[in-house]
Amino acid sequence: MNSANPRKVTVVVEQTTADYKSAVKPIWCPGCGDYAVLTALMRAFKHLDLAKENIAIASGIGCSSRFPAFLNTYGIHGLHGRALPLATGIKLGRPETTVLAVGGDGDGFSIGGGHIPHAARRNVDITYIVMDNSIYGMTKGQPSPTSPQGIVTRAAPYGTQERPLNPLLMTLSYDASFVARCFSGKVKEMTDVLMAALQHPGFALIQVLSPCVTYYNTYKHYRQVTGPLPEDHDPSDRLAAMALAMDTTTQHLGIFYQDPERSVYSHRVKKVQAHTGEMTLYEIFERLKC
């Protein structure tokens, strides 16, 4: 070989799970289900070989909303219940970015619940992971929107009087284009679902049953009542998915519904931009009647 003109060699370095981990150590309680979600998400990033500089994560307020700090990606720890608007803005501003929203059941289904139908109807190309422990762990055990009726906690010594929401049925009724459920006790299966969600073109909501070991430890309960979706389930059948979401005997795990053919919001906005020239983003939103 001519040393004056050496052959150029391109070295491809494969991503490892550790590449996505930041130097900030999680401060969740030992045994918290959110550790498993963090592990599964990093594995999903690795399997899909996603560049960490092309990932952005938005969160609200709560134990699980600390998520962005623990990952070596772009992230924003925002306001309570506002993870979806933040993620939507990021996706519209940088549509080439893989965008996620993360949070808990209180952040997502209480103060932030009004944002889910609009993310669903717009079909914003983001993945929303809701770590559902059926409790407000950060405020010392308040009942959350998914707490069972009658549950007694430190903050509800006489038991909660409200019936719980059914997050999957609610999201399916909003006609979200990807709806799934996972359990922190099954990391491999969760990794597979997260990979599918990240590759889905549109709004994907994943409810993760993620127990709180301090205020409401449901590991044993979920190991008894969870099970895979029926083998013959057709994820393109929304009515069948809704029936399974209403099943009170088994908490089914897996992809309930998926419609990959629906148009994506950022693509529609880009088409409008092509026809509007120098219009401002506000003017574009007015044209779209958002």
| Contact in structure between 7 and 36 (CB atoms under 8 Å) | no
Confidence of residue 276 (pLDDT cuts 50, 70, 90): low
pLDDT in the model for residue 95: 92
- Total domains in the chain come to 1
pLDDT in the model for residue 277: 63
How are the residues of the chain apportioned to helix, strand and coil, as percentages rounded to the nearest 5?
40, 20, 45
Rounded to an integer, the average pLDDT of 207-233 is 97
pLDDT in the model for residue 14: 76
- Does the residue 11 lie in any domain? no
Q: 3-class DSSP state for residue 20? A: helix
| Contact in structure between 251 and 168 (CB atoms under 8 Å) | no
Q: 3-class DSSP state for residue 248? A: coil
- Does the residue 284 lie in any domain? no
Cross-strand pairs, 99 = 56
Q: What is the mean pLDDT of the chain?
A: 91
How far is C-alpha 139 from the chain's CA centre? 22
Q: 3-class DSSP state for residue 149? A: coil
| Contact in structure between 136 and 160 (CB atoms under 8 Å) | no
Phi-psi region of 254 (alpha: psi -120 to 50; beta: other; left: phi over 0): left
Rounded to an integer, the average pLDDT of 240-264 is 96
pLDDT in the model for residue 210: 98
- Domain encompassing residue 131: 24-259
Residue 160's domain is classified under what CATH number?
Answer: 3.40.50.970
pLDDT in the model for residue 12: 46
What tokens does 78 get?
């925002």
- Does the residue 218 lie in any domain? yes
- Does the residue 285 lie in any domain? no
- Does the residue 85 lie in any domain? yes
Model pLDDT for residues 117-171, shown as the tens digit of each residue: 999 999 999 999 999 999 998 888 899 999 999 999 888 899 999 999 999 999 9
| Contact in structure between 60 and 83 (CB atoms under 8 Å) | yes
What is the value of pTM for the model shown? 0.90
Model pLDDT for residues 178-187, shown as the tens digit of each residue: 999 999 999 9
pLDDT in the model for residue 7: 46
pLDDT in the model for residue 266: 86
DSSP calls for 181-198: EEETT-HHHHHHHHHHHH
pLDDT in the model for residue 140: 83
pLDDT in the model for residue 2: 46
- Does the residue 32 lie in any domain? yes
- Does the residue 277 lie in any domain? no
H/E stretch holding 37: helix 34-48
Q: Provide the terminal-to-terminal Cα distance of the chain, rounded to the nearest Å.
A: 63
Confidence of residue 252 (pLDDT cuts 50, 70, 90): very high
Using CA of residue 264, residue 270, residue 272, residue 274, what is the dihedral sign? negative
pLDDT above 70 as % of the chain: 91
pLDDT in the model for residue 11: 44
pLDDT in the model for residue 1: 44
- Does the residue 40 lie in any domain? yes
CA distance 160 to 55: 39
Model pLDDT for residues 72-130, shown as the tens digit of each residue: 999 999 999 899 999 999 999 999 999 999 999 999 999 999 999 999 999 999 999 99
